Amino acid sequence: MKRTRLAVILLLLLAPPALASVRQGTTAPGTPDPAALLRLQSCVDSTVALGKAPVVIFDIDGTLTDPAPRTRAIFEAYASKNPKDAARIRKGITSLPLNRYAYAPESTLTLMGIRDTALVHRIGRTWVTGFFSNQYLSQDRELVGAAAYVTSLFKRGALIVYLTGRDVPRMLEGTAASLRDQGFPIASPRAVLVMKPDPKEPDLDFKKKVFDDFARLGTVVGVFENEPANLTAMQDRFPDAIAVFVDTTHDPKKTDVVRASAAWVRDFRIP
């Protein structure tokens, strides 16, 4: 792979996995098909038996991990530094469970009953700085069963690719540590983390650029995403792979729909 296009991190040490609550999705759900997780395990097994290298690609935010605790921690930090707003913010935090946090911080604040435009703007600026940084990534929690499921594919011989729109300059160290600490396989040449070198590059543009690199690593047998447009792009490039839409939250400004051929899951509990 070209170093200018990929940031691949291999870390040592694993920690026990953490648990997290799962939020309802913002897309009208298809029929949940958790059996797709079993089908992919079988596909990995059969690919290995043929002497080929199976590759499985996972997005991170909203796909493997829930970023809601990160947002809550940023709100709490803002409250601690702004006493005049603290009571309103803490009341909102107390009133809204993590499984109701929305994709955008403004929407989450509205659900908390915070509608003061100036306050929302101030908190939003703090959120952008904190959310896209290493500082709060340790707050993220895996979706139920995610670390165990990814580990099961890894142990079967799959090459795991974490393909994220997070960027290297602001989020490399925190992302790698978060995956490690939650028990995801990352300490191996068969478990790689791929991040944007340039924070300004649109996520989908970056991901499309690196698809061919993954094809050269082996046979891509599975792809996982919570953003419909990103999943569609992977289905176009890897039509024979099992495509799984993880129904958590996604960008409401994007109107793409999930193809009927994709399997839907809300977490990684195997039936």
Q: What is the pLDDT of residue 241?
A: 98
Six-digit token string for 90: 């803490």
Q: Tens of pLDDT along 212-222?
A: 999 999 999 99
Euclidean distance between CA atoms 38 and 149, whole angstroms: 10
Give the residue extent of every domain in the chain: 35-66+140-265, 68-137
Q: Tens of pLDDT along 124-173?
A: 999 999 999 999 999 999 999 999 999 999 999 999 999 999 999 999 99
Provide the residue-wise pLDDT of the chain in tens; the chain has 271 residues: 444 444 443 333 333 333 233 333 344 568 899 999 999 999 999 999 999 999 999 999 999 999 999 999 999 999 999 999 999 999 999 999 999 999 999 999 999 999 999 999 999 999 999 999 999 999 999 999 999 999 999 999 999 999 999 999 999 999 999 999 999 999 889 999 999 999 999 999 999 999 999 999 999 999 999 999 999 999 999 999 999 999 999 998 888 899 999 999 999 999 8
Q: Give which of 207, 214, 266, 252 is closest to 232, Cα–Cα.
A: 207
CATH architecture of 35-66+140-265: 3-Layer(aba) Sandwich (3.40)
Euclidean distance between CA atoms 51 and 255, whole angstroms: 40
For the beta carbon of residue 134, count every other beta carbon within 10 angstroms. 17
Location of structure tokens 């895996």: 142
Q: What is the pLDDT of residue 79?
A: 97
Task: Give the start-end residues of each E strand in the chain.
Answer: 54-58, 65-66, 141-142, 159-167, 191-196, 219-225, 242-246, 263-265
Largest pairwise CA distance in the chain: 64
Q: What is the pLDDT of residue 25?
A: 36
Euclidean distance between CA atoms 7 and 196, whole angstroms: 7
